[in-house]
Amino acid sequence: MNMYADVLVEIKAKQVDKTFTYLIPTNLKDKIKVGVLVVVPFGKKQVEGYVLNIHNKKIDFEIKEIINIKNEERVLNEELIELGYFLKEETLCSLSNCISSMLPKALKAKSGNVVNKKYLSYLVLVNKDGKFNVQQQRIIDLFKNNNEILKKEAYLISESATKTLIKKGNIKEIKKEEYRYNLRVDELDKPKKLNLEQQNAVDKISSYFNTSKTILLHGVTGSGKTEIYMNLIEKVLKEKKTALVLVPEISLTPQLILRFNKRFPKLIAVLHSHLSDGERFDEWRKIEKGECQIVIGARSAVFAPLKNIGIIILDEEHSDSYKQENNPKYHARKVAIKRSLYHNCPVILGSATPSLDSMARALKKRYEYISINKRASGADLPNISLVDMSEEAKARHNILSRELEYKIIERLNKKEQIVLLLNRRGHSTIITCANCGFTYRCPYCDITLTYHKTNKHLRCHYCGYTKYVDDVCPSCHEKSLNYYGLGTEKLEEYLKEVFPTAKIVRMDADSTTNKGFYEKIINDFQEGKYDILLGTQMVSKGLDFPKVSLVGIINADASLNIPEYKSNERSFALLTQASGRAGRSNIKGEVIIQTYNIMHPILKCVLNHNYQAYFNYEMKIRKTLKYPPYYFLVQIKLKSRDFNLVSNEIKKVKNYLENNISKDSIVLGPSPANPFLINGIYNYEILVKYRIDDKLINTLKELDKIYTIMPKISLDIDLSY
Ligand code: ADP
Ligand code: ZN
């Protein structure tokens, strides 16, 4: 009987998004299973593809044969294939785009990228009798206490003697796979005795085991959520099930991994962006083979091939990093909930600052809600105060207010630590000539260039364009350039001037480019090698430093003033999380927030640790302005290098939408996206707000088809904007 495979081929053209049927040749019949990668003829080429289905339906037209199998181990299981189709529905991207974004690079169907398994050579003893010279005997003696030894060790004695022994048949070489990433376990941690609130949370959540309930765990910073997660995981493991733990990339600190690893030695696989392709390939296969029961990872780890999942945890569930900004634009929270239905297991959404969306669902009883209002250590939440920077600027204190400066000196004297947040990297953001008015701008994007003093160059934070700069104005050739705007580099420079004896370290995307730097800064700060840690939002997340007693927010307005409907939500979370780094242990914590908007309602809520007030305020705005969670929002972007083309087409898109979707839906725009020009490409956007619209998805699919075929222009749809 002939067997056939439906294969999803990997070819760039978006139009070809369907499977093709191939005959399975007799010699491959045993090997080809659903989920393996195969090589098939396609036109005149050979391409790779995923086998999504196998069947014996009679086919009466001539059909090509599968050429070969690429990997005997399958890369997709039934659940992942189902998730691929789910993603396609959620994002309107092609199935092959969805499936390949779920997989580590080494397992994607493609040509050329070869990541191999790593093997180590060992030697085993076959026959210890014979006549040996001194070196040969020493090698034979290595087996007295070991059944097998590394070939490298024998080579240390003598390479030629080793080879002779192999030839004579006294010893034999075997190869064993060696995983490239292995967590070491130096010490073990016992579980902490949970306090009453923690125990209640654990009990309540465990009562939802073996159901697909989503539970919002709203616990203030330092309330011991991680401890709760570990306790739940222990219970899940006892039931012989597995656990998936997602955290934002930025909180995937060595601190956190160490904490889990000490508690669950040898059971953990880690997936994050600092792994090499080889390491990720190995971690993935450890999970697939069932060698690890717990996966900790960032967004894309939501696709980890765990079987028999007993709990899924999203820590810091409000984090933007759970949303993928490239295609397919999926949200890990939705994928997690989808998986929970498959596995019949609960999803825990943990946060000190739940997303508006999750809180709204909890209020509607769609999610279970559990809150914890006290810190686990018994410490109080920090005292927060606002400083009016317009007053300070008059006194020529526009970087550090007098109050913050004074408090820093106070902590330095007490040998306590300080964290300062400034959400803008680089040195200065605007360079202008005082003589002729010239300003450095990116030639490809419509933004000003940021000055990075460390290597004396200007950089565009959108496209990466760089330019070396000297002291003279390129326009009038006078030495009259002024540097405005405050970035982390300038702040560091300023702090070193004002506190010459303090030890200061900066953490931002520029100071952590090298692998390991991030880890080193955190470890060194933890060990007290620095007094002040300053940085971008990197310093606000998940870090637990007991000696930090002061947190300073240099410019709270930076995030509040971003023209985006989510800016209040993001600001509240950022400021609350950053504040949460202060006073986590036995020293009282204090937070100073510097702002030019002293009356801003969001700042008031941060000040009072009042999530509820913030929630009510923001929900009212969202309701009035018809934004999520009251309305769904779709962002449609049209992009082209050709200005005339894109500005004409965007009007057509608007017309098409208005004529083909529900009259109750609202079409906003077109307007230039922010920024309008990126890397030489013009960007327009249209927003659609809707509640129920049966026609919308098909209309968007039609638009997508039109612009997929049209040259020199591309359409980008974000269904969960
Ligand atoms: P969160 O994840 O909610 O920010 P953590 O789990 O990091 O909080 O806990 C904050 C601090 O309190 C940590 O240093 C942790 O070791 C400690 N802690 C948590 N639970 C307990 C407990 N039951 N008893 C004592 N200390 C605890
Ligand atoms: Zn640029």
Q: How far apart are CA 107 and CA 110, in angstroms?
A: 9
Q: What average pLDDT score do residues 636-655 get?
A: 96
The yes-or-no verdict on residue 648 having pLDDT over 70 is yes
The yes-or-no verdict on residue 113 having pLDDT over 60 is no
Closest CA to 589 of 551, 615, 637: 551
Q: What is the pLDDT of residue 721?
A: 87
Assess whether the C-beta atom of 377 lies below 6 angstroms from ligand 1. yes
Q: What average pLDDT score do residues 627-641 get?
A: 96
Q: What is the pLDDT of residue 638?
A: 97
Q: What average pLDDT score do residues 625-634 get?
A: 95
Distances in whole angstroms, Cα of residue 459 to Cα of each of 193, 428, 447, 534: 51, 11, 11, 21
Q: What is the pLDDT of residue 613?
A: 97
CATH level 3 topology of 383-426+487-621? Rossmann fold (3.40.50)
CATH level 3 topology of 196-372? Rossmann fold (3.40.50)
Do the domains 196-372 and 383-426+487-621 sit in the same CATH topology, yes or no?
A: yes
Q: What average pLDDT score do residues 577-598 get?
A: 91
Which pLDDT tens digit goes with each residue over 223-233?
999 999 999 99
Which pLDDT tens digit goes with each residue over 548-580?
999 999 999 988 888 789 999 999 999 999 999
Q: What is the pLDDT of residue 430?
A: 84
Cβ neighbours around 217 below 10 Å, total: 27
| Tokens representing residue 210 in the block | 């073996």
Q: What is the pLDDT of residue 612?
A: 97
Q: What average pLDDT score do residues 434-445 get?
A: 87
CB 548 within 8 A of CB 582: yes
| Higher pLDDT among residues 661 and 453, named by residue | 661
Residue 238 identity: K
Largest alpha-carbon pair distance within the chain? Answer: 94
Q: Which CATH number is 632-718 given? A: 3.30.70.600
Residue with CA closest to ligand 1 atom 26? 377
Q: What average pLDDT score do residues 27-50 get?
A: 90
Beta bridge partners of 196: none
Read off the pLDDT band of 15 (50, 70, 90). Answer: low
The yes-or-no verdict on residue 690 having pLDDT over 80 is yes
pLDDT, mean over the chain: 91
DSSP assignment string, 149-215: EEHHHHHHH-HHHHHHHHHHTSEEEEEEE--S---------PPPPP-HHHHHHHHHHHTTTTS--EE
Assess whether the C-beta atom of 221 lies below 6 angstroms from ligand 1. yes
The yes-or-no verdict on residue 213 having pLDDT over 60 is yes
Q: What average pLDDT score do residues 284-307 get?
A: 94
Spell out the domain ranges in the chain. 4-107, 119-177, 196-372, 383-426+487-621, 437-484, 632-718
Q: What is the pLDDT of residue 488?
A: 93
Q: What is the pLDDT of residue 25?
A: 93
Closest CA to 246 of 350, 106, 327: 350
Ligand nearest, relative to CA of residue 679? 2
The yes-or-no verdict on residue 196 having pLDDT over 90 is yes
Q: What is the pLDDT of residue 78?
A: 93
CATH level 3 topology of 4-107? GIY-YIG endonuclease (3.40.1440)
Token pair 């010699």: residue: 27
The yes-or-no verdict on residue 234 having pLDDT over 80 is yes
Q: How far apart are CA 697 and CA 678, in angstroms?
A: 28
The yes-or-no verdict on residue 453 having pLDDT over 90 is no
221, 226, 231, 252, best to mutate for ligand 1 pocket (most atoms within 8 Å of CB)? 226
Span from the CA of 182 to the centroid of ligand 1 (angstroms): 26
pTM over 0.85: yes
What ligand 1 atom has the least distance to the C-alpha of 228? 6
Q: What is the pLDDT of residue 493?
A: 94
The yes-or-no verdict on residue 51 having pLDDT over 90 is yes
The yes-or-no verdict on residue 292 having pLDDT over 90 is yes
Which pLDDT tens digit goes with each residue over 158-167?
999 999 999 9
Which pLDDT tens digit goes with each residue over 322-367?
999 999 999 999 999 999 999 999 999 999 999 999 999 999 999 9
The yes-or-no verdict on residue 647 having pLDDT over 60 is yes
Burial of 481 (0-12, 13-18, 19+ CB in 10 A): buried
Ligand nearest, relative to CA of residue 379? 1
Ligand nearest, relative to CA of residue 464? 2
Assess whether the C-beta atom of 577 lies below 6 angstroms from ligand 1. no
Q: What average pLDDT score do residues 658-664 get?
A: 95
| Higher pLDDT among residues 428 and 409, named by residue | 409
253, 377, 545, 547, best to mutate for ligand 1 pocket (most atoms within 8 Å of CB)? 377
Cβ neighbours around 127 below 10 Å, total: 12
